Amino acid sequence: MNQSVAKENKYDLICVGGGIMSATLALMLKLVDPKLKIIIFEKLSSVAKESSGAWNNAGTGHSALCELNYTPERPDGSIDISKAIKIFSQFETSKQFWAYLVDQKLIKDPERFIHSVPHHSWVTGKENINFLRKRFKALTQTSMFEKMQYTEEHSKLKQWFPLIARGKEDIEMAATRMEIGTEVNFEDLTKHYFKILEDQFDVPVLRDTDVLDVDPDQSLEWTVEAQDLDTGKVTYYDAQHVFIGAGGGALPLLQKVEIEEKDGYGGFPVDGQWLVCNNRDVIAKHMGKVYSKAGPDAPPMSTPHLDTRFINGKKELLFGPFAGFTTKFLKEGSVMDLPLSINKDNIPSMWGVFWHNLPLTKYLMQQVTMDHSDRMDDLRKFIKDAKAQDWDLKVAGKRVQIIKKDKEEGGVLEFGTDVVHSKDGSITALLGASPGASVAVSIMLEVIQTAFPEMVKTANWQQKLSKMIPFWNRKIQENESEFKKVQANSSEKLGLKVLH
């Protein structure tokens, strides 16, 4: 691509994708340096329609309060809580940033996107109870999780989640509860971000615009080729930095970029599906997010949970997720997304993942062949007397799991997020899924430090980042007393429950 670019189409940063990631990055940078010239492209007619959509995720403020897969058991039987500590810390930076936006009057009604909803882990059977008890003891040794409650008493379980505990008096059960858990509507938050960017900072957000290619130009910048889908007109833009945060659309575009760091990356797309309750009486009887353990051959993304949601001002109840195989990388993508993503650079990775993940293939085949009756059987492990007519199936968003090179296995499947970037950090791309949106602020801090390393070192940027996110570059464990004050302040600003 060797095109002349008009002066007005030269930018400091181009963001590809109209979801929570691009919106977070652009807003953080504009707050730090309002003079930065930023433009955002979104292929669809409106923002936040794919992975950030309210019905396309569980809305869990992922902070390791209830997700059992974040605390694996080591071979010696001890519990590894390192990932839980990391994710807890990352979500707290999100809360700090949101509280700052409230403080600056940029967000006036946080209750539109965030609510206090207790987070629970719930298990049955002696082996799982033993695991949960050890997990509880390991986590509560840290100040982050010291307020966690644990019980094996049916009377207490009935108080915490009566729908689940009802009719299970003869079953051995245990659960933990964290009152500071949250439920987040990332669609509403993302749309609010874009409104701030457009109204307060004059950031252009070009909807119905497809980014066709990203190429280096001769002046150490990047040229982006974008097409207006309404008119068909192609326009070229230059930028010193490019961020590809297009969810499932990130990998196909990244593969066109001329950087060696992309080699070996592939994607494994999975459909997400939920059972959604249509009976308001049932919905009213449950308040919480209750996570259990995935089956022996099931991947971490399949951890079953019963979730209270708040969508469009209404309380909802979802159970899932159920998986379906797909070759699309986006809900409004193409069936050719997966086939076209396979190339000579990632074939070893793709084959390695397939060969070493046969149980995952078996799991997906079982999921694809499920009918409503099968899904209701899974739900009845949670709600014993659940009625089929009270629940409908809703297809959620696509999740493209990361496939990357591995010396021993050829390729590995990762259940998380990766920031792929050029050596100089001038182009960055975000791949992967959960915990995703919940830790967007932390991930975008990583992108900022990668793309603008010299600016982050300046006193001006450090001061502004610290004002926005007090713990952006500090560890909670080393500043516990101050963190508790910051945490309480963030919760109060956001209208969340504060534990003293």
Quick check: is 465 in a domain?
Answer: yes
User: Is residue 270 within 8 Å of residue 301, measured between CB atoms?
Assistant: yes
The β-bridge relationship of strands 173-178 and 234-244 is unpaired
The tally of CA atoms less than 13 A away on the side-chain side of residue 176 is 28
> pLDDT digits over 33-66, tens only?
999 999 999 999 999 988 888 888 779 999 999 9
Quote the pLDDT of residue 418. Answer: 85
Quote the pLDDT of residue 248. Answer: 75
User: Is residue 55 within 8 Å of residue 394, measured between CB atoms?
Assistant: yes
CATH of the domain at 210: 3.50.50.60
Quick check: is 490 in a domain?
Answer: no
Quick check: is 494 in a domain?
Answer: no
User: Is residue 214 within 8 Å of residue 222, measured between CB atoms?
Assistant: yes
Per-residue DSSP letters for 322-388? EEEE-S-SSTTS-TTHHHHH--TTTHHHHHHHHHHTHHHHHHHHHHHT--HHHHHHHHTTTSTT--G
- Tokens representing 378? 């899974």
Quote the pLDDT of residue 494. Answer: 98
Domain count, the chain: 1
Quote the pLDDT of residue 241. Answer: 96
- Tokens representing 439? 């830790």
Quick check: is 417 in a domain?
Answer: yes
User: Is residue 289 within 8 Å of residue 421, measured between CB atoms?
Assistant: no
Quote the pLDDT of residue 180. Answer: 96
**Averages of pLDDT over each 10 residues, the chain, 500 residues:** 74 96 97 98 93 85 95 96 97 98 97 97 96 98 97 98 96 97 96 97 97 84 95 96 87 88 78 93 98 74 88 94 76 72 72 62 74 95 97 83 70 75 93 82 96 96 98 94 96 89
Quick check: is 495 in a domain?
Answer: no
| Dihedral over alpha carbons 323, 321, 440, 101 (to 10 degrees) | 140
CA geometry: angle 214, 196, 494, nearest 5 deg? 120
Whole domain around residue 78: which residue ranges? 7-483
d(CA 76, CA 166): 35
| Closest of 453, 354, 473, 466 to residue 403, by C-alpha | 354
State the residue for tokens 């919760």. Answer: 491
Q: What stretches of 427-479 show up as alpha helix (H) in DSSP? A: 440-451, 453-456, 459-468
User: Is residue 25 within 8 Å of residue 448, measured between CB atoms?
Assistant: yes
Quick check: is 488 in a domain?
Answer: no
Q: Rounded to the nearest 5°, which phi and psi values hold at 156?
A: -70, -40
Quote the pLDDT of residue 306. Answer: 97
| CA end-to-end distance (rounded Å), the chain | 59
Kind plus residue range of the DSSP H or E element containing 20: helix 20-32
d(CA 229, CA 111): 35
User: Is residue 308 within 8 Å of residue 61, measured between CB atoms?
Assistant: no
Quick check: is 500 in a domain?
Answer: no
SS3 432: strand
Quick check: is 303 in a domain?
Answer: yes
